[in-house]
Structure 1
């Protein structure tokens, strides 16, 4: 390649990063437009303007591309908003904090930019054991651990019974939301997650 006088060729690392982010964007766009089953490595490569061999040099499958693209998008979105990627509020009021973070989760799950790839990854993780482990380890586990930490602080402050297991407790409001969203068993909304928190913290018996 001949370069213009006074100008140097782009550094290989810079070219690689440009290609990598083009591939991320292509994978996310295709999954949103045509769905995960119809998304292919060939389609991602064509959309990103790179050769198929470039993708296979960095990833083993379209699922691996999508997982990395999704994690990158989540990180960039949080940084743009000036937030930590994983952040759980701690105002001292457990119910208020849980409702706030679950409302934010609902907003994300209803955003097509997030819902299409996250739904695809969750579904693929059920049949692809390796992807499933990575999806849990890199995306779900860090978020669930923050719930555990917040519930432990609430327990230490006397807001929960001393013997409450935070891992089981968080399932009372996280699992129903995930199931309803994944299986389309009903609408998800702020009112719905507020109710989940109320039921989880106060039970169903008369007070």
Structure 2
């Protein structure tokens, strides 16, 4: 007679890592729009049902890849070169460059929908991705260095940057250099001369 505890197959850490690594490689190689659970299962050498048991959708799987820093970790850490405007513009250009890359058109939409439909995906994106914390840290450093006024609402500034990307992406608006430069000029005070 089986004892009390979890029923069903146990989640193997080895399989979990293999799935996440395979998904990240496939997104980088083929783009999000061409990511399939079948392809990930084949590359990770697991059954497709194993993936669906742990991740309800490919967007949830990609959210975990992002949270585990297996997919484009360098995009989420803003530089600190001493030039806040250049650092934030470069950071935004990196993010929108990835979103604009061939095969990634559906990524932003899918992540937003997945986060809206599934609290677990939203928690992964909000808590584990650390995007807001990294921006908060960079803006706090800018306040300390005198690059931003001491009264700068740091969390709201990060929300405005990320929110602008999400809203522009959901409208299928242009996410190019003109957008990023204009957004930085709008949200950050002019440079001191």
Q: Same fold (TM over 0.5)?
A: yes
Contact 2:136 2:158 in 1 (8 A): yes
Distance 1:200 1:67, change over 3 A: closer
Question: 1:149 aligns to what SS in structure 2?
Answer: helix
Q: 2: CA distance between counterparts of 1:70 and 1:160?
A: 29
1:9-28 alignment, distance < 5 Å: 16=15, 20=19, 24=23
Q: 2: CA distance between counterparts of 1:181 and 1:190?
A: 14
Q: CA shift at 1:26, angstroms?
A: 9.7
Cα RMSD (Å): 3.6
Report which structure shows greater RCO (CA 8 Å, sep ≥6).
Answer: 2
State yes or no: 1:138 paired with 2:134.
Answer: no
State yes or no: 1:61 paired with 2:56.
Answer: yes
What's the counterpart of residue 196 of structure 1?
A: 183
Question: 2:155 aligns to what SS in structure 1?
Answer: helix
The TM-score, its normalising length taken from structure 2, stands at 0.70
Moved more, 19-28 or 192-201: 19-28
Gaps of 5+ in 1: 1-12, 79-83
Q: 1: CA distance between counterparts of 2:24 and 2:140?
A: 38
Q: 2: CA distance between counterparts of 1:45 and 1:114?
A: 20
The TM-score, its normalising length taken from structure 1, stands at 0.66
Q: 1:92-143, CA deviations, whole angstroms, 9 ceiling, x for partnerless residues?
A: 111111111111111111124555344312211101122211222222xx12
**Greater share of residues in helix:** 1
Contact 1:172 1:196 in 2 (8 A): no
1:40-55 alignment, distance < 5 Å: 45=41, 50-55=46-51
Q: CA shift at 1:198, angstroms?
A: 0.7
1:52-91 alignment, distance < 5 Å: 52-55=48-51, 59-63=54-58, 64-71=60-67, 75=70, 77-78=72-73, 84=74, 86-91=76-81
Q: 1: CA distance between counterparts of 2:152 and 2:47?
A: 53
Number of residue pairs aligned between Structure 1 and Structure 2: 176
Q: 1: CA distance between counterparts of 2:46 and 2:106?
A: 23
State yes or no: 1:121 paired with 2:111.
Answer: yes
Larger radius of gyration: 1
